[in-house]
């Protein structure tokens, strides 16, 4: 797999991630760069909390590119199933259907509040931690050294357009669905 990594281990270019996102550039509109940066931050956070393993970066690229994509395209917070559908279609296209269970677990548990301990726990938990790091603006760091957090955030800054798109969409959805305002959350 092609990727560019700094001497400190920060991934700065992951072509498979960009190839997955590119067809959605117009649909994401002003949020595209922010969503892309979110994906790269997540890949880096997940790499920092896992040990190297075969296909780690490719799996992380697929999951990070697709994990929130249906939400940003539709505004519907009940998006985990559609994200899994996108992952399955991609895995079928690349001949990696054996990754389906693991990637679905990564997508379905990325908003889990408590630690994940089931099958494929290492990468599932890494994605959960990575997303929580980003959602909390790195207030949660899960042991990642501050210098690496600073380097990743400098290369892939939190984009105001991303926040400007995400926050109002979440608010609108929650107000319209008072009985289940955050269906993407797991305990």
The tens digit of pLDDT for each residue in 35-66 reads 999 999 999 999 999 999 999 999 999 999 99
Q: Which residues contact 104 (CB under 8 A, 6 or more apart)?
A: 84, 87, 88
Q: What pLDDT, on a 0 to 100 scale, did the predictor assign at position 78?
A: 84
Q: What pLDDT, on a 0 to 100 scale, did the predictor assign at position 31?
A: 86
Q: Which long-range contacts (CB under 8 A, 24 or more apart) does 114-119 make?
A: 114/187
Low-confidence ranges of the chain (pLDDT < 70): 159-187
Q: What pLDDT, on a 0 to 100 scale, did the predictor assign at position 169?
A: 61
Q: Could you tell me how many residues make up the chain?
A: 187
pTM to 2 decimals? 0.89
Q: Is 2 left (phi over 0), alpha (psi -120 to 50) or beta?
A: beta
Q: What pLDDT, on a 0 to 100 scale, did the predictor assign at position 122?
A: 97
Q: What pLDDT, on a 0 to 100 scale, did the predictor assign at position 176?
A: 62
Q: What pLDDT, on a 0 to 100 scale, did the predictor assign at position 22?
A: 97
Q: What pLDDT, on a 0 to 100 scale, did the predictor assign at position 175?
A: 59
Q: What pLDDT, on a 0 to 100 scale, did the predictor assign at position 164?
A: 62
Q: What pLDDT, on a 0 to 100 scale, did the predictor assign at position 161?
A: 54
User: Buried b / exposed e across 18-49, counting CB within 10 Å, b at 16+?
Assistant: eebbeebeeebeebbebbbbbbbbbbbbbbbb
């Amino acid at each position: 797999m092609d990727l560019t990594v700094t001497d400190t281990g920060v991934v700065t270019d992951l072509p498979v991630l960009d190839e997955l996102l590119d067809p959605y550039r117009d649909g994401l509109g002003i949020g595209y760069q922010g969503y892309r940066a979110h994906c790269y931050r997540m890949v880096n956070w997940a790499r920092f909390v896992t040990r190297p393993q075969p296909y780690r970066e490719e799996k992380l690229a697929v999951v990070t590119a697709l994990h929130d994509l249906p939400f940003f395209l539709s505004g519907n917070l009940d998006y985990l199933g559609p994200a899994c559908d996108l992952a399955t279609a991609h895995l079928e296209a690349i001949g990696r259907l054996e990754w389906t269970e693991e990637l679905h677990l990564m997508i379905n548990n990325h908003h889990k509040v408590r630690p994940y301990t089931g099958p494929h726990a290492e990468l599932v938990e890494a994605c959960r931690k990575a997303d929580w790091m980003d959602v909390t603006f790195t207030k949660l760091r899960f042991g990642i050294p501050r210098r690496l957090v600073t380097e990743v955030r400098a290369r892939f800054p939190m984009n105001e357009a991303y926040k400007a798109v995400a926050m109002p969409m979440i608010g609108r959805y929650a107000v319209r669905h008072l009985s289940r305002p955050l269906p993407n959350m797991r305990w």
